[in-house]
Each structure stands twice: as structure tokens, then as C-alpha cells.
Amino acid sequence: MPSATQLQGSRIRSLRKLKGMTLIQLAKKTGLSHGYLSQIERGLSQPSIASLVDIAQALGVTMQWLFSESQEGSSADQGERSDMLVRKHQRVEIQYQDGIVDQLLTPRSNNNLEVIYSTYPSGTRSEPYSHKGHEAVLVLQGSLEIDVADERYVLEEGDCLSFTSSEPHAHRNLSNGEAIAVWFVTPASF
């Protein structure tokens, strides 16, 4: 069975070709090297969050679209509505190159709200990225440093921060161990 990374890469390649775009053209639109994009398309590299945002925007889709096949075969238990319920074993899991792991807690069909359970190994950080909408983050474990535009916030367990997602934002685990947070994003960006 192909991994989520391979499925996502093949979807990127298929859409790029459908749009008549070469790897070099996509590289120019995203600012990523064509070699790196080729590795992503072949499932050989796990892109960062910022890289996925750039790719999705360049192709004119949401990040959710890139992962929509990853959940195939994970329909809700018999008699349950898959447009309302995501069981723990049905979560779409996204692993990034830096070790950060996101699990989507909301159904793919929900375009209005996205809830993401994120784990951050010690010392990991994201690149700055931005997208339309608003988001809030609640730290469940550890300590996260969140940069929003020119402001820096240090969030401890139980702290919550909300902001406009169009501002460049990045996060870093300040803990000696794993940090865990839940993100609430509207509209859905994945």
C-alpha cells in the first residue's frame, strides 16, 4: 500500500500535468527547486508545511486536496456519518521532513473548519508561511514559540493564541521533550 507521501506526490504530479505545467514552471511559481519537487512527486521526500502551502497555491488547490486520497478506505464505521465523524484510527496523518506530525481531526468534507492535532519533537521548527483565514492554537503539552508577523509569543501548556492566518507565522518547540498542540483553522487550508 502506498504511503501518504507517495499518494500526495502522485496527486501533485497528476494535477501539474493536467494543468500543462512543467516541473521547472512549478519550481518558478513556488520558489522550490525542480529537483526537490521531483523528489516530492516520486514520494522520496517529505515536504515542509511551507512547501506544501506554496505547492497548493501554485496549483490552485487547498492542502486538503493534496491529501484527500490518503483517507480512502478509512470510511466511518458502519452506520456513522463520515461527513461528521473522524475516529482516531481514521485520521489523516501528515509527516513533515522536520519530524512534525499533523493529524486531521475533522472530516475532509468540512471546508469551513479544520482541527489539527500536531506533535513537535524537541527543537523542531516550521518555516514561516501564510494563507487565507484565521486560526487559533491551544498548547496541550510542552512549550511552543509562535511568531506571527513581527510578534513573538511563548505558549505554555493550556495557553491559547488566535491570529489572522494571512500574517506570516511559524512555530518552534522550546521544550526538552515533545510538544503537542491543537490548531483550529477557518476556512480549512488542508
CATH number of 77-186: 2.60.120.10
pLDDT at res. 52: 86
Question: For the segment 20-41, what is each residue's pLDDT rounded down to a tens digit?
Answer: 889 999 999 999 999 999 999 9
pLDDT at res. 70: 45
Q: What is the dihedral of CA 158, 172, 58, 22, to 10 degrees?
A: -140
- CATH 1.10.260.40, the chain: domain bounds: 4-69
| pLDDT(85) > 70 | yes
pTM, rounded to two decimals: 0.68
Greater pLDDT, 75 or 56: 56
Greater pLDDT, 138 or 10: 138
Share of the chain above pLDDT 90, in %: 45
pLDDT at res. 81: 59
Question: For the segment 101-142, what is each residue's pLDDT rounded down to a tens digit?
Answer: 899 898 876 678 889 999 999 999 988 988 889 999 999 999
* Average pLDDT rounded to a whole number, residues 147-162: 97
C-alpha cell at 179: 510538544
- CATH 2.60.120.10, the chain: domain bounds: 77-186
Q: Who contacts 185 (Cβ-Cβ below 8 Å, separation ≥6)?
A: 113, 114, 115, 116, 133, 134, 135, 165
CATH for the 4-69 domain, from 3.40.50.12780, 1.10.3720.10, 1.10.260.40, 3.40.50.300: 1.10.260.40
pLDDT at res. 6: 55
User: In angstroms, rounded to a whole number, what is the distance separating the alpha carbons of residues 26 and 28?
Assistant: 5
